[in-house]
Amino acid sequence: MEKSFSEIKELLIRKGLKATHQRIVIYHLLFNSFEHPTAELLFDKLKINNPSISLGTVYKTLDTFVQTGLAEKVLSETGSDRYDANLSSHHHIYYTDTKEIVDFYDSELQDLIIAFLNKKSIPNLKIKDFKIQIHGEKIDMVENQIN
């Protein structure tokens, strides 16, 4: 699933973006991150191999990615914005104890909700998409029961 620099370069050009070194390395790192990183975290990691990259560029580039549909912001209650280049339809588990945000895929749930919303029809609303956050904590045993 890892994308090479040349694949990323093509992707950027396809989106009408200039394929700069900064955009390539930022996208590469974000795409291969599964932690939904902040701009600052990406910046700190990028600096190692790109010592002259600037934090402003990381912010601006992430915003460009969001505008062009190459990435999404992941909602967070605490602190800074987090980003995700995983565009496959998925939701997020928020571990309240460890602060991790972990991808949650479930096509059955996805279909269930889409079917429900299509059936339901909310007056005066054209739905574009929906996002679910599941909040909980890490446990040792396999167990879960809500409500």
Contacts to DNA by CB under 7 A: 12-13, 17-23, 38-40, 50, 52-57, 59-61, 63-64, 79-81
Amino acid at 43: F
Q: Which does 1 bind (CB under 5 to 8 A by kind): its own copies, DNA, Mn ion, none?
A: none
β pairing state of 91-95 and 101-104: antiparallel
Our finding on whether 138 is near its own copies (CB under 8 A) is: yes
Q: Which does 114 bind (CB under 5 to 8 A by kind): Mn ion, DNA, its own copies, none?
A: its own copies
Our finding on whether 107 is near its own copies (CB under 8 A) is: no
Our finding on whether 88 is near its own copies (CB under 8 A) is: no
Q: Are the beta carbons of 89 and 108 closer than 8 angstroms?
A: no
User: What part of residues 68-97 is at the interface with Zn ion (CB under 5 A)?
Assistant: 84, 86
Closest-CA residue to 76 (of 135, 27, 20, 142): 135
Closest-CA residue to 70 (of 16, 133, 127, 110): 16
Closest-CA residue to 30 (of 56, 7, 49, 58): 58
Q: Where do contacts with its own copies occur on this chain (CB under 8 A)?
A: 73, 75-77, 81, 93, 95-96, 104, 106, 108-109, 112-114, 116-118, 120-140, 142-147
